[in-house]
Structure 1
Amino acid sequence: MSVHSDKYRIVSPELTVKAMRDSGYKDTAHALAELIDNSIDAKADLVEVFACEAPVQLKTRVSYRVEEIAVLDNGHGMNAETLRRSLKYGDGSGNGNDGEPRIGKFGMGLPNSSLSQCTQVEVWSWTNGPGNALYTFLNLDQIRKGQENVPDPEHKPVPEYWRRLSNGLDRSGTLVLWTDLDRVNWYGAAATLRHTEELIGRIYRKFLDTGRVQIRMAPVRDGQVIEGGEYYAAPNDPLYLMKETCTPPPFNSKPMFQAFELGDPERPGFQSFQIADKDGIRHTVTVRAAMARPEARIRDIPGHPWPQDAKSNKDAGHQKWGKHAERNVGISLIREDRELLLDSAWAESDVRERWWGVEVSFPKALDDIFGVTNNKQSATVFESLARLNWEAELDEGETYKAYKDRLKELGDPRLPLIDLANHIRTSLLRPMRAKIKAQTKGIRGDSGERHPDRAARQATNAIRKRQEDGHTTKEDLASRGQSEDEKRKEQVDNLVARHHVDPAAATKIVDHSLKLGLLANWITSSQDTEAFFTIDPMTSILQVAFNSDHVLHGRLMAVMEEVPSDSSSEDLRERLAQVATTFQLLLFSWARMEKETSDPERLKIVKDARRDWGSYARDFIEDGDF
């Protein structure tokens, strides 16, 4: 080779280094996950993550900054050949589909993740005691200077420093050490680990929940684990079905969600699909779904009180567990029991999206079908389906089957997953959202509204006054003979059957009304009618049901009731203007109805109704203190 041949290399060492570093890891936590993957594949049941900090003198004070990060496990360790290959890009013992239930596949994790965060990675691995460890490393400066091979492993005992810090050093294992942390996202040791806690707990929740592995998080200062600073990662389950998790109390020791029925009575909340790989071999993909239990969203359900430190007059979304759920919105994609990503693109812009969870699990044999990337942070094909509107892609007159046939001819990579995606969107998310919306229907007191019962109280006063003046109805007379239990049953049954309110929520609504002696109630629900409200046929209470499917709901009630707590003065003024305009248009619509009523007898009925309604409105409104 000519001495000048280096100038014609396809890839220069400098570009090689840049490619190694710009590997797409979202943050330090995701990079650390690659090392934990290797530990789990090595059959470790204990993985220890150390963040070691040192003092840094600032202008007016001393701060601490992480200088080293280490991951130590008690797995089976590596021999010299495997150790050397583990630091080679595109190699490694996990490469290929050999049927082993390993997380790794691409042979990229150890070097790729390490050099994305630091300029030197060192590895010790042993199969016969840490004193007999083998050692090798990668250094970016040496690679820039033209180093092409991973250094041959040498015998080098695990340093005493790490032996002293470890709780589980065993006869076999591996230690990975990152130094010169020029790309670590956080500064102090505790902060570095704190920012990894929820992610690590979520990625490995299935391993943690079943006890297959423990992950010790240990911040280190002055050569010692910081007193009171270490902890073991707890599962972070976005389906909130696990019992012992990192969810805030009271749901740290009991499930916050319940399985959403998917049609299999033997496995509630489970559904299986058969999807073929590129060779036509079919594999099982499992979908799980869950939604919030009533007690997670509704205060003071009997037997399920909220904690004493729960924020008063705030709904569940403002509580600690609601904030936790807000960080777990989306569909969790699971590969070989390890989470690849939590895809929030499937969620709508509604605060209630936090109250459902969906998990899609698939084997690594379907990596190409799902579009799994080599850093195991994305599944590009599956993610693209969150934004798919197949109806918009149809040619004129084309059926769904013809559309799929066309995709097959084009070799569209989305085709194998389209049926799964449509099922999730239409047969799963749609009914779950409806149930979640109905779960707290009619419960306005926890929403932050200042006077949720004001209209009902005033209406009750007006009804009683009219009764005293002799204006009684047949319902008034019938209700006098009802016991409180009979009234409760009538009203709860109405809310559950007619308006699809969760039974626990319905019971709370009715108990609240009975306690206050209310004779009127207001509820919003979907109704198949052109009327913008209906009157429920009940004896014990006057219940008005506003039609959420009517245009007036979005223009009037939603504008008034669904006001964000951080609304600006300008936004509030705009809302008031919209309500005033809508009310004026409502009266104009009545006036036009009268003008278009040509039958004299019908016109007389309409005018009488307008006059009578005005009279009733005076009785209900004029004495109101609001």
Structure 2
Amino acid sequence: MTLKCHFFSLFLNYMKESLKLERNEPAADVLSKSIRSMGYSLESAIADVIDNSISAGAHDVQVKFPVDPSDVYIAICDNGSGMNKAELFDAMKYGSVLKGDNRSESDLGRFGMGLKSASHSQCRRLTVISKKSDMISGYVWDLDLVDEKKDWIMINLSENQVCDVRHYDYLSNKKSGTVVVWENFDFIRKETGDEYAGIVDQQNAVSDYLSLIFHRFLSKDKKDRLSIKVNNFSLIPFDPFLESHKKTTVRKEITLPIEDANGVERKITAIPYVLPFQKDLSEDDKKLSGGIENYRTKQGYYIYRNERLIVWGTWFNRHRDELSKYARVKVDIPNTLDDIWGIDIKKQSAKIPASIRQRLNRAVDDVMDVAVKKQTYRGRIAKVNDDFEYVWNRIDNRGNFVYSINRESSLFKLLESKVNEDAMPYVEMVLKEIEQNVPFQQIYVDKSQDKIDEVVSDERIAEITENAKMMVQMVMELNSSLTREEAVENVFKKEPFCKHPEIKEKV
């Protein structure tokens, strides 16, 4: 018998033996602690529960914050399709079977985990009652009980116990619906020392977040419109694109076909917008756009999954420049592309697949054509020496000069490469303020009186020398074909190095 035949015979004998299978369930009290640490904020957790309300066809959602320090809870009530007892039991399961098997293309859910993971990220006791076919059922996940029993044990509420659940009366005059109640906010209590104040202080932030995340549902035609109330205050939808503003420029919608994980062609749509100047905004416009503090820092892609905002205010590492400061691009993706887009369990992050990033960037470049016409100086950069790269641009605008920091300079490119994308808008905001607040008059007065200290200290010379060495090394890494001498010559055509040719030999 050959060696190959011998191993094949052993393999057949192995297969004839019955495999011994053993169940290895995770420890309930340990795993529940891990699930609680997924990084939800209070507002994102509430939004995740409202996703279920929308998926259930709700048109009315009411979020109840506490009004009495002695009775601290949050409730989310909706008039959706509701659940019978079996459906509610499954919905309370970590990894809902029905959710995974029968997710419709309009479903805002993801893994069948949102209700539980979002709720327990904020509280230890989750109660859900739901009405369907005139029957109201209820279950409770109490993590104190899970820790005590060290098992996935829920409380099955009796008919009388269901009636005692907060906001049971919301369901009494509804054909169907669901009430979710959170209690025992241990994380907030530990963080703030005051459970009631810690929750109430976040009420406005939650309202603003929901007004943005669900703004397209809140602004639909009356028949399909979603109403969200926070303690009886009706939310007004934000409009991050200021679509009704007469000075907003809307570019042509583009459609990008892309195959899902099963090879089925799906459609992604993108609409670029160029927003008005800040000076053209009323106070209402500023509020509708998401707040003036975000007007410049939250430009970029706005990614919607089934019309629900997932990610916003990012260019996904695309180069930011002066031309993109008022540009926002609305991108719609279906839930059938979740795997390709890397939608996380919290539905708070997404990544543009390489297969469509380039095509979306072309849409951004298209909108930039308009931004160039609307928002750049119609002048030329006037240099003292065209061979040198300056830190400041002097722009000749029909005989009047405007000064701006040269964002194409090597020093700025170095800064841009070291600062993360989220922080870069704030860097840009600071630089813009520096440009707008140069004390020209005082500089002129001090210069005319010969009071400006222009002596370059030895310490400054040493600093410039070390910076030059670093820049030479960076230039050589970017272009390996350059000799060190060529790299030095390249660097010493840039400010501040061009002003100090005497240190070239030290570099």
SS of residue paired to 2:73: strand
**Equivalent residue letter for 1:133:** I
2:314 aligns with: 344
What one-letter code is carried by the residue in structure 2 that aligns with 1:67? Answer: V
| 2-structure distance, mates of 1:553, 1:535 | 22
- 2:278 paired residue number: 297
- 1:133 CA drift (Å): 1.7
| Structure 1 segments unaligned to the other structure (5+ residues) | 1-7, 57-65, 219-229, 244-253, 262-267, 300-304, 311-315, 383-416, 443-498, 500-522, 593-626
Q: Post-superposition shift, 1:441?
A: 3.9
Give the drift of 1:99: 4.0
Is 2:34 the counterpart of 1:24? no
> 2:183 aligns to what?
179
Displacement of 1:356: 1.4
Shift of 1:113: 0.8
Distance 1:180 1:215, change over 3 A: same
Contact 1:89 1:111 in 2 (8 A): yes
Q: Partners in 2 of 1:167 and 1:81 — Cα distance?
A: 19
Paired residues of 1:118 and 1:178 also in contact (CA < 8 A): yes
Q: Which residue of 2 aligns with 1:489?
A: none
CA distance in 2, matches of 1:201, 1:358: 19
Task: After superposition, give the CA deviation of every residue in 1:53-78 in whole Å (9 maximum; x if it has no partner).
Answer: 4337xxxxxxxxx8100001111111
Q: What does 1:14-413 correspond to in 2, within 5 Å? A: 14-25=29-40, 27-55=41-69, 67-91=72-96, 93-96=98-101, 98-129=103-134, 132-144=135-147, 145-152=149-156, 154-156=158-160, 157-159=162-164, 162=167, 169-184=173-188, 187=197, 190-210=200-220, 211-218=224-231, 230-241=232-243, 243=244, 254=245, 257-259=248-250, 261=251, 268=252, 270-293=253-276, 296-298=277-279, 322-326=292-296, 328-342=298-312, 344=314, 346=316, 354-379=325-350, 381-382=351-352
Amino acid at match of 2:347: K
Residue number in structure 1 paired with 2:485: none
When normalised by structure 2's length, the TM-score is 0.65
Question: Aligned partners of 1:11, 1:441: CA distance in 2, in Å?
Answer: 60
SS of the residue 2:30 aligns to: helix
Do the aligned residues in 2 keep the contact of 1:123 with 1:135 (CA within 8 Å)? yes
Report the counterpart of residue 451 of structure 1 in structure 2.
none
- 1:377 Cα deviation from its structure 2 partner: 1.8
Given that residues 130 and 176 in structure 2 are in contact (C-alpha distance below 8 angstroms), is that contact kept between their aligned partners in structure 1? yes
What residue number does 1:436 align with?
371
Distance change (3 Å), C-alpha of 1:271 and 1:283: same
Residues 321 and 111 (structure 1), Cα distance of their counterparts in 2 relative to 1, 3 Å cut: closer
Q: Do 1:121 and 1:178's aligned partners in 2 also have CA atoms closer than 8 Å?
A: yes
Separation in structure 2 between the aligned mates of residue 120 and residue 560 of structure 1, nearest angstrom: 48
Q: 1:350 to 1:533 in 2, by over 3 A?
A: closer
Amino acid at match of 1:214: S
Bigger radius of gyration among the two: 1
C-alpha distance after superposition, 1:291-328 (max 9, x if no partner): 113xx4345xxxxx856x99xxxxx99x9953242464
1:448-469, Cα deviation, whole Å (9 max, x unpaired): xxxxxxxxxxxxxxxxxxxxxx
Residue 206 to residue 140, structure 1, CA distance change in 2 (3 Å) = same
Deviation sequence 1:173-212 (CA, Å, 0-9, x none)? 1101001112348836653221112221222111111053
Q: Given residue 23 of structure 1, which amino acid in structure 2 is its aligned partner? A: M
What is the DSSP-based 3-state SS (H/G/I as helix, E as strand, rest coil) of the residue aligned with 1:103?
coil
Aligned to 1:63: none
- Using a 3 Å threshold, how does the CA distance of structure 1 residues 128 and 438 change in structure 2: closer, same or farther? same
Distance 1:99 1:355, change over 3 A: same
Distance in 1 separating the partners of 2:154 and 2:431: 66
22, 27, 33: which one pairs with 1:12? 27
What is the number of residues matched between the two proteins? 397
Query: Could you tell me how far apart the structure 2 residues matched to 1:373 and 1:550 are?
Result: 35
User: Greater relative contact order: 1 or 2 (C-alpha under 8 angstroms, separation 6 or more)?
Assistant: 2
| Cα distance between partner residues in 2 of 1:207 and 1:339 | 10
- Provide the C-alpha distance between the structure 1 equivalents of 2:405 and 2:373, rounded to a whole number of angstroms: 12
Which SS does the other structure have where 2:216 is aligned?
helix
Structure 1 CA distance for aligned equivalents of residues 166 and 103 of structure 2: 38
Query: 1:420-456 CA distances to partner (integer Å, 9 max, x unpaired)?
Result: 212333x2334545643553445xxxxxxxxxxxxxx
Q: Which amino acid aligns with 1:278?
A: A
CA–CA separation in structure 2 for the residues paired with 1:435 and 1:289: 10
Deviations 1:546-565 (A, max 9, x none): 9998989999xx99986167
State the Cα distance separating 1:364 from its structure 2 match: 1.2
Contact 1:82 / 1:92 at 8 angstroms: preserved in 2?
no
CA deviation map 1:305-364 (0-9, x unaligned)? 856x99xxxxx99x9953242464332211111122225253766687552111221111
Return closer, same or farther for 1:43/1:551 CA change in 2, 3 Å cut-off. closer
How far residue 158 of structure 1 moved from its aligned partner, in angstroms, is 4.2
Residues 217, 423 of structure 1: CA spacing in aligned structure 2 closer, same or farther, 3 A cutoff?
A: same
Per-residue CA deviation, residues 461-491 of structure 1 (Å, 9 max, x unaligned), is: xxxxxxxxxxxxxxxxxxxxxxxxxxxxxxx
For 1:181, the aligned partner's letter is: F
> What TM-score, normalized to structure 1?
0.54
Moved more, 97-106 or 119-128: 97-106
Q: Which amino acid aligns with 2:124?
A: T
Q: Counterpart of 2:35 in 1: which secondary structure?
A: helix
| Alignment check: 8 A CA contact 1:137 1:150 kept | yes
User: Residue 297 of structure 1 aligns to which amino acid in structure 2?
Assistant: Q
Percent of aligned positions that are identical? 21
Structure 2 distance, partners of 1:117, 1:330, is 30
Structure 2 Cα separation of the partners of residues 107 and 560 of structure 1: 46
SS of 2:100's partner is coil
Deviation at 1:161, TM superposition (A): 5.5
Alpha-carbon offset, residue 33 of structure 1: 1.0
Give the residue type in structure 2 aligned to 1:141: D
The CA distance in 1 between the partners of 2:208 and 2:122, in whole Å, is: 20
Q: Distance in 1 between matches of 2:45 and 2:431?
A: 46
Kindly indicate whether the alpha-carbon contact (under 8 Å) linking 2:381 and 2:396 is maintained by their aligned counterparts in 1. no
SS of residue paired to 2:261:
coil
Q: Distance in 1 between matches of 2:434 and 2:365?
A: 24
